[in-house]
């Protein structure tokens, strides 16, 4: 009995157990696996570090675009009388210069007046004009109004009033320090950055026009690409016969998904603008080009969603007497719709970040007015970033980073919508 047991133990040690000669190899495999895990963790940490650095860098450079510096100027009622505001003949040009000069000490000579005028922004004249027209009947002998500061003053204040942070003279810095001590300088949220169109002046420029242009463009893209893409996917997956023609279509759809986006821009330039005569730089032309670009992605995503529906759903519908059309549109498509919507939103997010096809159809033009329809000249957020990044003024560097923040927020919201839709309507089989 003891001999038999020892023989079994020996056999188990040779077949199922681990011999002494196998231990070094096993340790080497464990070490290699551990190294592979450590390399993977290091790669993830490095990727997150680079992403964090990118986001922090953009946020640090662009957060100032959402705030603007303002300077408080006192206005006397006699100045309104002298410039004709009570008679409806207000001269805002003279009033703004008189108000600035009178609020600063020792403004003597042409050079000093030029420096004084350079403290307020280009919109200060219209701001003072609007305020004086609406409030002159209510003001006393003297009233204070906050006016937008110039881009140089704005940069100097946001940089912590460091010397050399903006193109300001020593006299201007001395005036600003005096105003700061008197509490006549502040920063407030810059709503104009989100509502204004593009401008040559940094303090006037905003992403409102590009934001509306992107919204109009995405609406056109969604209306065209979602309907066509989903119907094409339903036909290829549920109704098309399996032959050479459908195989040819499937191969080309997969190939079109990897075509560079600028090719679609050239197609839009030659066909949409040249043949069909669509308005140049319009959201209609831009949305149509982006729809052509996102169609392959939406078709592929929709076909994958249709394939994920179990065959038992179709068989049960057939067993109850439903036709193929009824089975597909009453049972299969509703179950596959969450995946279709997710693929569509992800395709739209990709279209939102595209620049090259929009450049080819003229959406790179300088657009100062916010578009109000699909046919108006428009720009887009990526194109606006491209334009501002090429501007020589230092203040536009802050605007560029701010526009990137708006674009990233837009993209995050679209991806978040895709995740929420998938979780809300997803069915597990």
In angstroms and rounded to an integer, the radius of gyration of the C-alpha atoms of the chain is 33
* pLDDT for 280 beyond 70: yes
Residues 85 and 74: their CA atoms lie apart, in Å, by 16
Domain(s) of CATH 1.10.3720.10: residues in the chain: 208-425
pLDDT at 11: 47
Highest mean pLDDT: which range of 86-95, 116-125, 183-192:
183-192
What 3-state class would DSSP assign to 120? strand
Highest mean pLDDT: which range of 41-55, 154-168, 362-376:
41-55
* pLDDT for 14 beyond 60: no
Which residues lie below 8 Å from residue 318, measured CB to CB, with a gap of 6+? 327
Q: Region 31-36: what's the mean pLDDT? A: 88
Position 137 confidence tier, pLDDT thresholds 50, 70, 90: low
Bridge partners, residue 70, by sequence = 148, 186
pLDDT at 40: 93
Position 24 confidence tier, pLDDT thresholds 50, 70, 90: low
Residues 249 and 274: their CA atoms lie apart, in Å, by 27
What 3-state class would DSSP assign to 340? helix
Lowest mean pLDDT among 350-359, 369-378, 403-412, 419-428: 419-428
Q: Tell me, what DSSP letter sits at residue 168? A: -
* pLDDT for 6 beyond 70: no
Q: Region 389-404: what's the mean pLDDT? A: 86
Instruction: Output 296 or 367, whichever has higher pLDDT.
Output: 296
Residues 231 and 150: their CA atoms lie apart, in Å, by 54
What 3-state class would DSSP assign to 167? coil
Q: Region 86-113: what's the mean pLDDT? A: 75
Bridge partners, residue 146, by sequence = 72
Closest by CA to 63, choosing from 396, 394, 395, 401, is 401
Bridge partners, residue 147, by sequence = 71
Position 390 confidence tier, pLDDT thresholds 50, 70, 90: confident
Q: Per-residue pLDDT tens for 58-68? A: 998 888 889 98
pLDDT at 42: 95
* pLDDT for 106 beyond 90: no
Position 43 confidence tier, pLDDT thresholds 50, 70, 90: very high
Q: What percent of the chain has pLDDT over 90?
A: 21
Average pLDDT taken over every residue of the chain = 83
The answer to whether domain 208-425 has CATH 1.10.3720.10 is: yes
pLDDT at 56: 92
pLDDT at 363: 85
Which residues lie below 8 Å from residue 163, measured CB to CB, with a gap of 6+? 173
Q: Per-residue pLDDT tens for 220-269? A: 999 999 999 999 999 998 888 888 888 888 888 888 888 888 899 898 88
Q: Position of tokens 């100097």?
A: 156
Q: Region 288-306: what's the mean pLDDT? A: 91
Q: In this structure, are residues 110 and 184 in contact, taking their beta carbons and an 8 Å threshold?
A: no
pLDDT at 39: 95
Q: In this structure, are residues 253 and 233 in contact, taking their beta carbons and an 8 Å threshold?
A: no
């Amino acid at each position: 009995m003891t001999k038999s047991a020892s023989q079994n133990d020996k056999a188990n040690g040779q077949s199922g157990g681990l011999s002494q000669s196998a231990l070094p190899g096993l340790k080497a495999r464990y070490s290699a696996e551990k190294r592979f895990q450590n390399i993977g963790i290091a790669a993830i940490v490095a990727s997150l570090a680079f992403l964090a650095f990118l986001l922090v860098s953009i946020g640090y450079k662009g957060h100032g675009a959402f705030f603007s510096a303002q300077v408080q100027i006192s206005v006397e009622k006699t100045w309104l009388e002298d410039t004709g505001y009570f008679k409806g003949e207000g001269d805002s040009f003279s009033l703004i210069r008189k108000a600035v000069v009178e609020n600063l000490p020792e403004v003597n000579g042409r050079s000093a007046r030029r420096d004084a005028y350079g403290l307020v922004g280009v919109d200060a004249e219209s701001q003072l004009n609007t305020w004086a027209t609406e409030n002159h009947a209510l003001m006393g002998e003297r009233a204070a109004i906050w006016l937008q500061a110039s881009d140089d003053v704005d940069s100097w204040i946001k940089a912590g009033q460091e010397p050399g942070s903006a193109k300001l003279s020593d006299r201007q810095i001395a005036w600003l320090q005096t105003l700061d001590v008197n509490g006549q300088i502040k920063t407030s949220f810059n709503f104009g950055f989100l509502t204004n169109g593009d401008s040559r002046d940094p303090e006037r420029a905003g992403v409102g026009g590009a934001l509306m242009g992107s919204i109009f463009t995405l609406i056109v893209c969604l209306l065209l690409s979602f309907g066509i893409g989903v119907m094409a996917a339903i036909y290829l997956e549920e109704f098309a016969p399996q032959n050479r023609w459908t195989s040819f279509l499937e191969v080309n759809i997969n190939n079109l998904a990897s075509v560079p986006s600028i090719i679609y821009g050239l197609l839009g330039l030659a066909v949409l603008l040249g043949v069909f005569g669509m308005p140049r730089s319009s959201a209609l032309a831009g949305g149509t080009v982006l729809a052509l670009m996102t169609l392959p992605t939406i078709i592929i995503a929709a076909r994958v969603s249709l394939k994920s529906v179990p065959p038992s759903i179709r068989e049960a519908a057939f067993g109850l007497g439903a036709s193929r059309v009824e089975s597909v549109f009453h049972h299969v498509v509703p179950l596959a719709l969450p995946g279709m919507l997710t693929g569509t939103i992800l395709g739209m997010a990709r279209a939102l970040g595209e620049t090259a096809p929009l450049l080819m159809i003229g959406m790179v033009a300088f657009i100062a007015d916010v578009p109000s329809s699909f046919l108006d000249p428009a720009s887009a957020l990526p194109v606006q970033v491209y334009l501002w990044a090429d501007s020589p003024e230092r203040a536009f560097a802050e605007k560029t980073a701010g526009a990137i923040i708006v674009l990233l927020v837009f993209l995050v919201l679209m991806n978040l919508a895709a995740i929420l839709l998938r979780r809300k309507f997803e069915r597990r089989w």
